[in-house]
Homo-oligomer: A and B are copies of this chain.
């Protein structure tokens, strides 16, 4: 029998997680929620995802537009074993009690605090921590990106300290606000919350972060400086990532010099929605000097957490006890090579 998954919030992340669930053979979508009868509500129909509203009073606005719904979230909770909460950051908190009372497990996204779920999740780093849990949180796109490359390096060579500058995209492609059109804006409160967020997965890690927001929509870029405990050469480090899941090399010398070119590459690879779910590391943008390692990576903010959500469902629902097997199953269903 397949696990019945509901998506609360069929937006940027929600629609991607829903399609990823659909691509699995051990889980299925039993419903998705929308708050307004936008075109995305009609797309749910195209995907054959049963449509629910977030609250009961929204149903009539859907009816007015001729969009049939199966009820509201309250009804969806009766159909689902687990909810993936993809509501906007800070909103998940409001729903936690509702999930609990309905006896339905739930996964929150990185916009929520660690404390809401008590468990923060990354498939490679701590798959088993979510085993059978009622609540877990898949960490944010940036934290997922940092953990994907830091965890294997820490394992192989030991990390003394990390200083990372996160150059954030100003807004998602179709968003109307979030960034001045022509400005760079630093996050003045230092150090930013990203370091402590990585520590919800790797509590022993000495990491500090600075952040600037820039007027682009495609990806975040991380400029990372690591002091290593053991010496390593560039080739050693690249070798570690070559074996790590969901890290993919790109090369400036083959014409992939910036985030727009990574996104072009993703379209060429025929990924659903042109998503790039791996962390892109520039193979020709790495340097070791003494014990210090420098490298650049890019994070597709809309999609890198999607496979993590699938693995998190498997761990919480006890579908697969071996994390690496879950990762491989997810990857192979989504066209991720490793």
Contacts and interface: CB of A to CB of B under 8 A. Distances in A.
A180 B190 contact: no
A97 interface: no
A1 interface: no
A257 B39 contact: no
Contacts of A254: 37-39, 42, 65
A232 interface: no
Given A186-B282, A186-B296, A259-B184, A214 B167 contact: yes
A217 interface: yes
Interface in A242-270: 251-252, 254-261, 263-265, 267-270
Q: Is the interface of A mostly helix, strand, loop or mixed?
A: mixed
B183 A259 contact: yes
29 contacts: A39-B265, A40-B255, A65-B254, A165-B165, A167-B167, A169-B184, A171-B180, A173-B182, A174-B258, A174-B263, A175-B180, A176-B179, A180-B258, A182-B260, A183-B260, A183-B261, A186-B221, A188-B284, A190-B285, A190-B294, A191-B294, A208-B225, A208-B294, A210-B223, A210-B225, A210-B294, A213-B258, A215-B215, A267-B274
